[in-house]
């Protein structure tokens, strides 16, 4: 049996560490001469109003530049970097422009003659990923000769890990992303994510573990300096190895379980040849789940703080990216509003399938999906609907006021600069270098 090759290399120096990872994995063996190459980084979140902790959240610009240099060495000139960054306003193009500028992608464009695209400004093509599942995916990637998929080595609060396969979700349009968070108990988010690589061209997956992230995928997670690079021309094998490096058994990652079933592959390492470093020497435990208490009706830190009179049900996989962002704002606002007196039996429902609890005085429905599912439910005494797809921050503010949750005014006045709260975790720590996200 031919085993899939996955290389694991310690990141020790620019360019040469990545060169070693690609050489060990035979990463460019399937790369045609004069190929049209598409590079997919991971920019899961960006904020153009203030600095954000990028470590473990965003693919390092250092690895992106090293990939371009190695491609140029092989005579490859047609290179595109493409990403679809989700922002609060679906019509917002300034955020992507700001990200590309500050991450140095525009400098890479000028320096190496490559293209940099916001996929939301480019054509999408409707494709059938598998029987019964269609999505609109970026046409530039679909029509390239070779895909270089560069996720971060991170965990994910809904998908357990976010690695090579999951990273391709950034290439589908907004409607498809929302559809992926399906209420179907079988063809759910995990099933759908497992299909993302099915129609991709030949691919080299490079997992950027210079920084890793637990309780990801975004800036509220905890970053670590990992100094790991993983490379493979088999995206599934790269993800299995990546999960192991996070000390997570692939058998508890639903989309990898589905991907293994689809490919008739084992979930252990029995059909994978690992070259370079050993997993056992580099693996580090990374938590992925946010712990809730009271039958999953309140985040554990909130219970420990004594917050009462409110049920804030734990998110599920049906909550899409837009409402996930609002979820963090709501939770922060509710915690900041707490003054020791119980809330008025308020319940917060998100996603697509949650149902109201009888006896609660006020029910906040976050997003159009959960509103449509529960707007006529007789168990709701007072409905507070945060409608819209996506809802606005102003609607969130109004809903909390209606629920008599008195949020300090500074929370919403400075919402654009909230990421600065997370920057404090890394202040004065020399391991967390901005230079990895800059281009000279």
**Taking the chain (440 residues) in consecutive chunks of 10 residues, what is each chunk's mean pLDDT?**
94 98 97 97 96 98 98 98 90 94 98 98 98 98 98 98 98 96 97 98 98 97 98 98 98 98 98 98 98 97 97 97 91 95 98 98 98 98 95 94 94 90 94 97
- Looking from the CA of 244 toward its CB, the CA atoms found within 13 Å total 19
DSSP secondary structure string for all residues of 135-173: EEEEHHHHT-SEEEE--EEEEETTTEEESHHHHGGGGB-
Q: State pTM to two decimals.
A: 0.97
Give the domain ranges of the chain.
4-288+433-437, 292-407
pLDDT at 1: 66
81 within 8 A of 105, measured Cβ to Cβ: yes
Distance, in Å, from the CA atom of 289 to the CA atom of 140, rounded to the nearest integer, reads: 35
> Phi and psi of 40, rounded to 5°?
-110, 100
CB 275 within 8 A of CB 23: no
> Dihedral of the CA atoms 90, 91, 93, 96 (nearest 10)?
0
Nearest residue to 172 (alpha-carbon basis) of 130, 208, 123, 235: 123
Position 216 scores a pLDDT of 97
Fold designation for 4-288+433-437: Rossmann fold (3.40.50)
- The residue written with tokens 């990273």 in the block is 167
Instruction: Identify the pLDDT of residue 102.
Output: 98
Q: Which tokens sit at 21?
A: 């990872």
pLDDT at 90: 77
């Amino acid at each position: 049996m031919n085993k899939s090759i996955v290389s694991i290399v310690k990141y020790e120096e620019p360019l040469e560490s990545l060169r070693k990872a690609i050489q060990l994995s035979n990463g460019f063996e399937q790369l045609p001469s004069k190929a049209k190459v598409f590079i997919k980084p991971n920019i899961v979140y960006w904020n153009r109003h203030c600095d954000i902790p990028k470590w473990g959240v965003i693919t390092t610009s250092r690895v992106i530049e090293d990939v371009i240099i190695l491609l140029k060495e092989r005579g490859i000139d047609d290179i595109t970097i493409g990403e679809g960054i989700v922002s609060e306003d679906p019509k917002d193009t300034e955020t992507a422009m700001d990200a590309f500028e500050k991450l140095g992608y525009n400098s890479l464009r000028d320096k190496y003659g490559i293209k940099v695209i916001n996929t939301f400004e480019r054509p999408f093509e409707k494709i059938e990923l598998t029987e019964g599942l269609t999505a609109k995916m970026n046409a530039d990637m679909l029509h390239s000769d070779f895909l270089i998929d560069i996720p971060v080595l991170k965990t994910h609060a809904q998908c357990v890990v976010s690695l090579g396969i999951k990273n391709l979700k950034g290439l589908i349009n907004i409607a498809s992303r929302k559809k992926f968070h399906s209420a179907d108990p079988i063809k759910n988010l995990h099933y759908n994510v497992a299909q993302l690589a099915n129609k991709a061209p030949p691919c080299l997956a490079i997992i950027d573990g210079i920084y890793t992230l637990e309780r990801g995928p975004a800036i509220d997670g905890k970053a670590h300096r990992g100094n790991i690079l993983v490379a493979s021309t088999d995206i599934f094998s790269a993800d299995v190895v990546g999960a192991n490096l996070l000390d997570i058994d692939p058998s508890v990652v639903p989309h990898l379980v589905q991907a293994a079933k689809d490919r008739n592959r084992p979930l252990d390492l029995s059909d994978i040849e690992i070259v370079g470093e050993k997993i056992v020497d580099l693996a580090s435990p990374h938590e992925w789940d946010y712990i809730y208490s009271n039958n999953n009706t309140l985040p554990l830190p909130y219970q420990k703080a004594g917050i009462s009179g409110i049920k804030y049900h734990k998110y599920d996989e049906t909550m899409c990216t837009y409402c996930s962002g609002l979820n963090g704002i709501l939770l922060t606002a509710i915690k900041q509003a707490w003054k020791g007196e119980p809330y008025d039996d308020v319940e917060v429902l998100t996603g697509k399938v949650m149902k109201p609890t009888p006896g609660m005085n006020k029910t906040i429905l976050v997003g159009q999906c959960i509103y449509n599912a529960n707007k006529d439910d007789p168990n709701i005494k007072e409905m507070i609907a945060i409608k819209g797809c996506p809802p606005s921050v102003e609607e969130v503010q109004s809903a909390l006021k209606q629920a008599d949750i008195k949020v300090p005014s500074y929370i919403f006045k400075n919402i654009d600069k909230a990421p600065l709260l997370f920057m404090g975790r890394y202040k004065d720590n020399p391991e967390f270098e901005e230079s990895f996200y800059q281009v000279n």
